[in-house]
Amino acid sequence: MNKTEQDMAKKTETITLYISELLYDVKNRSYLTGLSRKNGDNFEEVANMQASDDEEHENQLLRSIGNSFDRLKTKLSEYVVSSQTTSNNALMSKTGTIGFELVMPSNYNQATLDTITSECTQYIENMTLSDWFRITNKPDYPEYETNAGDNLLHIREALNKRVRPVRPVI
């Protein structure tokens, strides 16, 4: 098989993530984390650790989402062939999308695509929350980095699933 035939035997899968959904999930998870830390009269501390729609909060979250997206592409670089968009802050919009294409072997198990997409979303959210809590509540940030590492393991596992060969009928 020559190189062109090998390239044709590969599958291209597109991962598209919506920034508005990433922002919502990060804000919601920071809210729930703050709510779980509330005890007594620490309302100000709890409020400060929760991401909000305030412009400075959202700008920080967008930068963190962009950085997390770039790290994810680097971690998956052996499969990533192109980006639908860059994570340049000038182009990052809360109503936009980010994504990339993966080139997979022909025997890749396509049933794992939902897992890969979900774990990529969670990786970006966990790294964004880690960045957020590094600023607002240092004791919490390592937990989210650990969670992101787990997401990468799940992504790798899903990327390496293959369809079982079928014996040809003779």
| pLDDT tens digits, one per residue of 42-77 | 777 778 788 888 888 899 999 999 999 999 999 999
pLDDT band at 89 (very low <50, low <70, confident <90, very high): very low
Q: Which residues are registered as beta bridge partners of 108?
A: 162
How many residues comprise the chain? 170
- 169 in any annotated domain: no
- Residue 88 pLDDT: 47
- Residue 85 pLDDT: 52
Count H helices, E strands: the chain? 6, 3
- 166 in any annotated domain: no
- Residue 41 pLDDT: 78
Residue 160 has pLDDT above 60, yes or no: yes
Compare 42 and 84 and report the one with higher pLDDT.
42
- 155 in any annotated domain: yes
- 29 in any annotated domain: yes
- 64 in any annotated domain: yes
Residue 155 belongs to domain spanning: 15-159
DSSP string of 129-169?
HHHHHHHH-GGGHHHHHHHHHHHHHHHHHHHT-BPPP-PPP
Q: 24-28, 92-96, 129-133: which range is least confident on average?
A: 92-96
* Helical (H) or strand (E) element with 110: none
- 71 in any annotated domain: yes
**Cβ atoms of 54 and 65 closer than 8 Å:** no
- 46 in any annotated domain: yes
pLDDT band at 149 (very low <50, low <70, confident <90, very high): very high
**Cβ atoms of 8 and 93 closer than 8 Å:** no
- 9 in any annotated domain: no
Compare 84 and 164 and report the one with higher pLDDT.
164
**pTM, rounded to two decimals:** 0.85
| Eight-class DSSP state of 10 | S
**Cβ atoms of 48 and 132 closer than 8 Å:** no
Instruction: Report how many domains make up the chain.
Output: 1
- Residue 163 pLDDT: 86
Q: List b or e across 100-129, with b for residues whose CB sees 16 or more CB atoms inside 10 angstroms.
A: bbbebeeebeeebbebbbebbbbbbbbbbb
Compare 121 and 94 and report the one with higher pLDDT.
121
